[in-house]
Amino acid sequence: MLEQKEKNVVITGGGSGIGRATALAFAKKGAHVHIVDLNGTQADGVRQEIVALQGAASVHILDVSDQQQMIAAFNTIKPIDVLINSAGVSHIGKVETTTTEDFDRIYNVNVKGVYNSLFAAIPHMKARKKGVILNVSSVAAAVGINERFAYSMSKGAVHAMTLSVAKDYVGDNIRCNSGSPGRVHTPFVDGFLKKTYPGREQEMFEKLSKTQPIGRMGTPEEIANLILYLCSDEASFITGTDYAIDGGFITLNN
């Protein structure tokens, strides 16, 4: 089940968080994982973890907001069997507290970065008449979350791009889906709590965890397992769909 042997799998943002967990999950199933990340140290750390598991991995130090970098790298990676767009940054703020610089930063990575990745990968998939794409979205694309104006905008765009790509390339045997996590316990969460609530990290961690009906945050590994399934041959009848993986956040909080 869920085997990925002899497949080239490209994961943007593969150096940490959900991207790291996804890279490890695919490597365990036999894929050659291509870790795309701006942080070479983190990316190489994941590569070493995969090698320790007797898996295969390569590191590509890239800025996803630079289209020419992405095109050049993807031309060397080909063939591309699976593309996972996991690279992303966050921002906390309402519209009136979001500066132009904040907005542009979110847009360049979360929106333009996904577009650049799709632009670079789809011609290779189209030429081979096969491919699978998974975009990491967020529950923020579907519901209002306090002080997440720019981030929510970006994930709404990811959701729309997913639907467009799925429809435009279904005839080329390219599947495209998205996954929308709720709150997931990643290093970003720990850093945010330490910076914003010094001395109250545990208290606020528990408070944020309880905003999800299931009573806890998700783990990167849980998100990775969903991604692995949606990109597997077992999910060959699924395209143009977003899957919430959120501990009931969307449906049970309304």
Q: From the candidates 107, 115, 151, 243, which is the catalytic residue?
A: 151
End-to-end CA distance of the chain: 35
User: Would you call 169 a catalytic residue per the annotation?
Assistant: no
142 within 8 A of 92, measured Cβ to Cβ: no
Distances (CA, A) of 31 to 12, 43, 57, 122: 15, 17, 8, 19
Q: How do strand 32-37 and strand 8-12 relate by DSSP bridges? A: parallel
Tell me the C-alpha distance between 221 and 205, whole Å: 19
The whole-angstrom separation of Cα 37 and Cα 70 is: 11
Catalytic residues: 151
